[in-house]
Structure 1
């Protein structure tokens, strides 16, 4: 990089760091206030709510890094344009598209850091946070347990499409749950597992009862060799349904590799539609960290154009870009969970903003 490139990146780094801390303060504050309300109802202390906040912080950082790029670019470049530094660079022979290169590269590096964090620290910390939240909420009221989760208990692996707690006991070991869209994988050494699917089930303690289901045995190639339909099927697991919740994993608590394995397992049993949201989440694990590149290219020409309007204009540009991205992100995620291709749903916001940014740079030149 040339000296000018480092100067451009340095100018954007200050607002970027401030944006990260501001995002973390807002997110952590919201989590703590919400949990403190439940803590007061359940007689728990502040310490437990603070632990949840600490465990959730890595996930907030994953979100904050790409989002804060837009504030770094909009405020940093806005100041450079206001002080005529961008004009000097252009008079020196650097076109706008060349000035934008170090910003795009820096945003890409931030994306790599965000992705690595989401694949290493974040899944484990999210699992710890979920366990703490569960202990806290269980003391207050019967809770609706998370949908679309996989977990393991002894020789069994479970997928639960939806799961509701029906009792009013404060003891997780005595909890009673009604389950829907259940898949059970009975593991066998050196062979494919026995696949058990059921429309509904009841879990009371360690006893599980499945209703209106099918049991399938597979050969070494994965083809069905024996298929049995049953009205009722009972079995025991080595832990209660209440404690299974604490080890169940949502998509945020799994790495991309683990999530892909879970999706593949569901597809092999013909239940791909039940985990469509997980397919979108899988591709978002790659798309979201690199959203900062597209946001940087959108904010850059706008910050140059409105540089003389002051820092307020830079803040408005950042907030506007954030609003547009979040709305497109939520819309595409919803469409992907319903009928749109999950890969396209995850990447369309990035691609659309990237194209928009390149067009704006071209127009500004």
Structure 2
């Protein structure tokens, strides 16, 4: 039995690795196309692009791990069923129940890995991704502000610095014209300035010291002195529309989500945002459990569809996961709109597939099989 479980586990791990790598490759290619303008404008190196993709990996692994788990178990037991290995094992006195430990342990390990992505990996990735983008924007801004040149790269802002220290990036004799606010134009003059970043809040700003603000609104002109003043640079324009403002619920860490939910309306967020937070919390708990549910659902399904070729098995397994994901997406939409409780919307798919797994496992033990034959229609020519 140890040898049998070891071989099953080895095959499961191999298919899981290949399928997960393939899905990740396709998604990363799509992300390259999505961020192509960002990469080109920021002039990122291959190493910097690789770091950004590494930070995005936990976000995708949270969703891809359940489907890779389901696919690996389905294809493994479909092959064993098609090659009559399961029949041979049953003739030797081994029931299907005695083959469960290997896929069960495999599903538990995948569930634990997905829990790690959900609780820790996702927040680590999003925080570092935002920080990296802000750092790239800061570097570009420092390069854009050349001494003795009026810079107009940022919409609504004009920068000028008489001198720029290359080592510290500290600017001398700074002039800023700010027309980002409607109906108000502010001209700021300061002897010193520098570029600062606030990665936590996704902000990039020009920090000015000991200057004056000449603010014009209609026909009124006011002059203000300041000790310290920050001019915020619009990062959405600098980063080709990618927003690094306040994190959305799906970008928040686990502790942050729980904190916002406990505070409720006192956190300063509206009801819709709080519903999204509740949905995100349930999603991060239900998706890891989906590894166990879908994996144990795939095992009897593969035994029932006996004689099915691997390529068709791949299509069927993807279709079954599409059914699960459609139910999950519907639950997310209903939960965010307030039509149903997030607990119901996010956990119904797991409950339905868990119940189906029990039913199909009994059918598989009774050796109830569905022989599927897929044939291409033949075209016949009729002669007159």
Does the alignment reach a TM-score above 0.5?
yes
Question: CA distance change for structure 1 residues 243 and 34 in 2, over 3 Å: closer, same or farther?
Answer: closer
Residue 73 of structure 1 and its aligned partner are, at CA, apart by: 0.8
Match of residue 261 from structure 1 = 259
Match of residue 94 from structure 2 = 94
Q: 1:309 aligns to what SS in structure 2?
A: coil
Match of residue 324 from structure 2 = 325
Alpha-carbon distance in structure 2 between the residues aligned to 1:237 and 1:109: 52
- Alignment check: 8 A CA contact 2:42 2:136 kept: no
Q: 1:298-313 counterparts in 2 under 5 A?
A: 298-313=297-312
TM-score, length of structure 2 as denominator length: 0.64
Match of residue 362 from structure 1 = 362
The answer on 1:251 being equivalent to 2:249 is yes
- Alignment check: 8 A CA contact 1:176 1:205 kept: no
Residue 289 of structure 1 and its aligned partner are, at CA, apart by: 1.4
- Alignment check: 8 A CA contact 1:39 1:45 kept: yes
Match of residue 164 from structure 1 = none
Question: CA distance change for structure 1 residues 3 and 326 in 2, over 3 Å: closer, same or farther?
Answer: same
Unmatched 5+ residue regions in structure 1? 140-166, 179-203, 207-235
Question: CA distance change for structure 1 residues 79 and 321 in 2, over 3 Å: closer, same or farther?
Answer: same
Give per-residue Cα distances to partners, 1:132-191, cap 9 Å, x unaligned: 45778999xxxxxxxxxxxxxxxxxxxxxxxxxxx934799969589xxxxxxxxxxxxx
- Alignment check: 8 A CA contact 2:120 2:254 kept: no
Alpha-carbon distance in structure 1 between the residues aligned to 2:329 and 2:158: 37
Match of residue 277 from structure 1 = 276
- Alignment check: 8 A CA contact 2:123 2:254 kept: no
Q: 1:155-174 counterparts in 2 under 5 A?
A: 168-169=155-156
Alpha-carbon distance in structure 2 between the residues aligned to 1:317 and 1:16: 17
Residue 315 of structure 1 and its aligned partner are, at CA, apart by: 1.1
Give per-residue Cα distances to partners, 1:3-22, cap 9 Å, x unaligned: 33333222222111111101
Unmatched 5+ residue regions in structure 2? 140-153, 160-175, 183-204, 208-227, 237-242, 367-384
- Alignment check: 8 A CA contact 1:36 1:46 kept: no
Alpha-carbon distance in structure 1 between the residues aligned to 2:57 and 2:281: 21
Alpha-carbon distance in structure 2 between the residues aligned to 1:138 and 1:175: 21
Count of residue correspondences: 284
Question: CA distance change for structure 1 residues 119 and 242 in 2, over 3 Å: closer, same or farther?
Answer: farther
Residue 239 of structure 1 and its aligned partner are, at CA, apart by: 8.3
Residue range with higher mean Cα deviation, 317-326 or 281-290: 317-326
Give per-residue Cα distances to partners, 1:39-58, cap 9 Å, x unaligned: 44x36445454442222123
Question: CA distance change for structure 1 residues 258 and 298 in 2, over 3 Å: closer, same or farther?
Answer: same
The answer on 1:18 being equivalent to 2:18 is yes
Residue 275 of structure 1 and its aligned partner are, at CA, apart by: 1.5
Give per-residue Cα distances to partners, 1:239-293, cap 9 Å, x unaligned: 8485797463233333323211112122446944431011010111111112121
Q: 1:308 aligns to what SS in structure 2?
A: coil
Q: 1:42-121 counterparts in 2 under 5 A?
A: 42=41, 44-45=43-44, 47=46, 49-121=49-121
Residue range with higher mean Cα deviation, 95-104 or 308-317: 95-104
TM-score, length of structure 1 as denominator length: 0.67
- Alignment check: 8 A CA contact 1:123 1:253 kept: yes
